[in-house]
Amino acid sequence: MTKLLVEYISSEGSKPIGELATSEVLIGREPESDTGITVPHNAVSRNHGVFIRASDAWFYKDLESTNGSWINGKPVVPGHWRLIRPGMVLQLADAVIRLNASSDLSAQVQKGPLKKFYVFLKGNFVRDFIVPDYGTVFRVGGAETEFPIEGDLYEAPALVVEHLGEHVTVRTVNTAISSFLNEEPIESKAVIRDLDTIKVADYSFVFSDLSGIHSTSLTSATTLNAWGDEHSRQQSHSSGKLPFGQVSTSQDDEEETLAIAPDEMEARMVRSDVHPSMRYQLDTTGAGDPFSSPEDRLILFIGLLLLIVLMVFVVLWVFF
């Protein structure tokens, strides 16, 4: 399986900081492991996240970090495994990490199946499941199933995954057992796409579709989101967190920070010539008030006064 090289990107440029070579690798500001990868950034938690090797793929999980993680701009739910590949951008708080392949990925893609599921039970990887060319892929729960649910007494499965035509789909059968696709409830039937995750009971099924791997570009993968959705921003502000680069002085000595705006993060990826002292300055320029200066206000007053005098002369001339 391809090793992944980990590259740290900042306004000063990029530099390699480690590689994913063993079965489990911690990443953070001060990872508690000899094989861990150190990210030189104060906003990153000591043990921010962890990578694992599962069959022929790599996965990342956020370890309840203070400032969160994003993969290609999408927030990572803490404690949930996310499939990662070469070319992806991993954002740990304000630190930008790029994952690069140590060998030719296209050659590896041609060797194995293009579509498969990686199965996790109670957060632990158990197996991968190859998607057949057509028909039922697997069932979860019920009397006849590939993945039994503990304590399930129903005859019908909770859900069925099928490969019909060009798409892999999931449909619910027994609605008494809740099923989710990317954290959203599955109402009846839905199409499963690359990197999607199905959750039902204690199972998580991560879908990998490498049929379009050649069209994946690094440019599309570097769209970043500095702090998720607006609700996440409001929660972070209400919790009393500090801007990046400022360390909390509270008694518990936790380093809580806020992410900068997404456009500033994009600028950091492109404008590597920016001086470090200017890194966190946001653009506050705007159109402003056109009559904000005293000179402008004086000119406006004189103009209005002359207009009034002219109108008075016109009235006197017409009526008197």
Token pair for 105: 């990925």
| Domain 113-217 in the same topology as domain 1-112+226-272 | yes
pLDDT category of residue 217 using cuts at 50, 70 and 90: very low
pLDDT of residue 211: 85
Q: What angle do CA 156, 182, 238 make, to 5 degrees?
A: 130
Q: Any idea where the domains of the chain sit in the sequence?
A: 1-112+226-272, 113-217
11 has a pLDDT exceeding 60: yes
Mean model confidence pLDDT for the chain: 80
With contact defined as beta carbons under 8 Å apart, do 157 and 173 qualify? yes
Token pair for 88: 């992806």
Paired sense of beta strands 24-28 and 37-38, if any: parallel
Averaged pLDDT, 294-304: 82
pLDDT category of residue 263 using cuts at 50, 70 and 90: low
138 has a pLDDT exceeding 80: yes
How many of the other CB atoms lie within 10 Å of CB of 7? 17
How many of the other CB atoms lie within 10 Å of CB of 5? 17
Alpha-carbon gap, residue 194 to 168, rounded angstroms:
10
16 has a pLDDT exceeding 60: yes
Helices (H), the chain: 105-111, 218-221, 230-238, 262-270, 294-319
Torsions phi, psi of 175, nearest 5? -75, -5
Distance from the first to the final alpha carbon of the chain: 100
Alpha-carbon gap, residue 29 to 48, rounded angstroms:
7
Sign for the CA dihedral angle at 9, 10, 13, 16 comes to: negative
pLDDT of residue 293: 64
295 has a pLDDT exceeding 80: no
Burial 283-313 (b: 16+ CB within 10 A, else e): eeeeeeeeeeeeeeeeeeeeeeeeeeeeeee
* The residue type at 204: S
With contact defined as beta carbons under 8 Å apart, do 113 and 163 qualify? no
Q: Which has the closest alpha carbon to 83: 115, 112, 110, 106?
A: 115
pLDDT of residue 27: 97
Question: What are the strands, taking DSSP E only, across 113-183?
Answer: 115-121, 124-130, 135-140, 159-164, 167-172, 179-181
pLDDT of residue 177: 94
How many of the other CB atoms lie within 10 Å of CB of 190? 18
Alpha-carbon gap, residue 314 to 225, rounded angstroms:
63
Classify 234 as helix, strand or coil: helix
Selected residue with higher pLDDT from 108 and 99: 99
Question: What secondary structure letter does DSSP report for 273?
Answer: T
Averaged pLDDT, 164-182: 94
pLDDT of residue 143: 92
CATH number of 113-217: 2.60.200.20
Classify 240 as helix, strand or coil: coil
279 has a pLDDT exceeding 80: no
> Would the pTM of this model clear 0.95, i.e. be above it?
no
pLDDT of residue 289: 56
pLDDT category of residue 102 using cuts at 50, 70 and 90: confident
CATH class of 1-112+226-272: mainly beta
Averaged pLDDT, 206-235: 54
